[in-house]
Structure 1
Amino acid sequence: MTEAVPLPTPLPTLRPTPFDPPAELAGLRASRPIAPLAYPDGHRGWLVTSHALAREVLADRRFSARSELHHMPAGQPRPAQPAPPGIFLSMDPPAHTRYRHLLTGEFTVRRMRLLGDRIEEITGAYLDAMERQGPPVDLVESFTAPIPALVICELLGVPGDDRERFLAEADVLMRPGNSPEEVMAAFLGMQEHMKELARAKRAEPTDDLLSGLTRSDLTEEELANIGFMLLGAGLDTTANQLALGTFALLTHPEQLAVVRAEPERIERVVEELLRFLGIIPFLVRTALEDVEVGGELVEAGQTVTVSLPAANRDPGRFPDPDTLDVLREGGGHLGFGHGVHQCLGQQLARVEMRAAFPALFARFPSLRLAVEPGEVPLRTDMPIYGVHRLPVTWDTP
Structure 2
Amino acid sequence: MSESTAEPIPFPFPDPSFIGDLPPELAEIRDGDSVVEVKFPDGMGAWLVTKHADIRKVLVDPRFSSKVMAAAAAAMSETETGKLMNESLVGMDAPEHTRLRKLVSRAFTARRMELMRPRVAQLVAEYLDEMETQPQPVDLVKNFALPLPVRVICELLGVPAGDQDTFHAWSNALLGDWQQVVEKEAATVSLVNYFTELVTAKREQPADDLMSDLIRISEDDETLTTREIVALSIGILSAGHETTANQIGMFVLTLLHNPDELAKLRANPEAVPQAVEELLRFVPLTTTGGIIPRLTTAPVELSDGRTLPAGVVVMPAVATGNRDPELFEDGERLNLSRQPNPHLAFGAGIHHCLGAQLARIELQEALAALLARFPDLALGVPESELRLKPASIVRGLESLPLTW
For the Cα contact (< 8 Å) 2:70–2:85, is it kept in 1?
no
Match of 1:249 in 2: 255
For the Cα contact (< 8 Å) 2:266–2:371, is it kept in 1?
yes
For the Cα contact (< 8 Å) 1:172–1:182, is it kept in 2?
yes
- 229-238 vs 373-382, greater mean Cα deviation: 373-382
For the Cα contact (< 8 Å) 1:12–1:24, is it kept in 2?
no
The 3-state SS of whatever aligns with 1:392 is strand
Q: Deviations over 1:64-117 (max 9, x none)?
A: 001346679xxxxx7695655641111001111111111211122331122101
Match of 2:376 in 1: 366
In 2, the alpha carbon distance for the partners of 1:210 and 1:89 equals 19
**Which runs of structure 2 are paired with 1:47-86 in the superposition (5 Å)?**
47-68=48-69, 84=85, 86=87
Cα distance, 1:8 vs structure 2: 2.3
| Residue identity matched to 2:255 | L
Match of 1:288 in 2: 297
| Residue identity matched to 2:132 | E
Distance verdict in 2 for CA 1:92–1:234, change over 3 Å: same
Q: Deviations over 1:130-183 (max 9, x none)?
A: 012242111000011111000000110112233333234334444569964444
Match of 2:157 in 1: 156
Cα distance, 1:306 vs structure 2: 0.7
| Residue identity matched to 2:11 | L
**Which runs of structure 2 are paired with 1:239-318 in the superposition (5 Å)?**
239-280=245-286, 281-283=289-291, 284-293=293-302, 294-318=304-328
Distance verdict in 2 for CA 1:9–1:69, change over 3 Å: farther
- 352-361 vs 296-305, greater mean Cα deviation: 296-305
**How many residues of Structure 1 are paired with residues of Structure 2 in the alignment?**
388
| Residue identity matched to 1:135 | Q
For the Cα contact (< 8 Å) 1:70–1:303, is it kept in 2?
no
Is 1:104 aligned to residue 105 of structure 2? yes
Gaps of at least 5 residues in structure 1 are 73-77
Match of 2:401 in 1: 391
For the Cα contact (< 8 Å) 2:242–2:394, is it kept in 1?
yes
For the Cα contact (< 8 Å) 2:87–2:228, is it kept in 1?
yes
In 2, the alpha carbon distance for the partners of 1:164 and 1:43 equals 34
| Residue identity matched to 2:301 | E
Match of 2:128 in 1: 127
For the Cα contact (< 8 Å) 1:9–1:37, is it kept in 2?
yes
In 2, the alpha carbon distance for the partners of 1:67 and 1:158 equals 31
- 342-351 vs 184-193, greater mean Cα deviation: 184-193
For the Cα contact (< 8 Å) 2:176–2:391, is it kept in 1?
no
Name the structure, 1 or 2, with higher relative contact order (CA <8 Å, separation 6+). 2
How large is the Cα RMSD of the aligned pairs?
Answer: 2.4
Q: Deviations over 1:259-318 (max 9, x none)?
A: 211110011100010010111321211001222223223222101111011101111110
Gaps of at least 5 residues in structure 2 are none
- 141-150 vs 22-31, greater mean Cα deviation: 22-31
For the Cα contact (< 8 Å) 2:55–2:321, is it kept in 1?
yes
- 379-388 vs 90-99, greater mean Cα deviation: 379-388
The alignment's TM-score, normalised by the length of structure 2, stands at 0.90
Match of 2:358 in 1: 348
Match of 2:215 in 1: 214
Match of 1:204 in 2: 205
Q: Percent identity?
A: 41
| Residue identity matched to 2:102 | H
Match of 2:11 in 1: 11
Q: Deviations over 1:168-213 (max 9, x none)?
A: 4334444569964444332211211111111112222111111111
In 2, the alpha carbon distance for the partners of 1:28 and 1:319 equals 18
Cα distance, 1:366 vs structure 2: 1.2
Cα distance, 1:53 vs structure 2: 0.7
| Residue identity matched to 2:372 | A
In 1, the alpha carbon distance for the partners of 2:325 and 2:390 equals 25
Distance verdict in 2 for CA 1:121–1:69, change over 3 Å: closer
In 2, the alpha carbon distance for the partners of 1:83 and 1:302 equals 24
The 3-state SS of whatever aligns with 2:331 is coil
| Residue identity matched to 1:268 | Q
For the Cα contact (< 8 Å) 1:19–1:276, is it kept in 2?
no
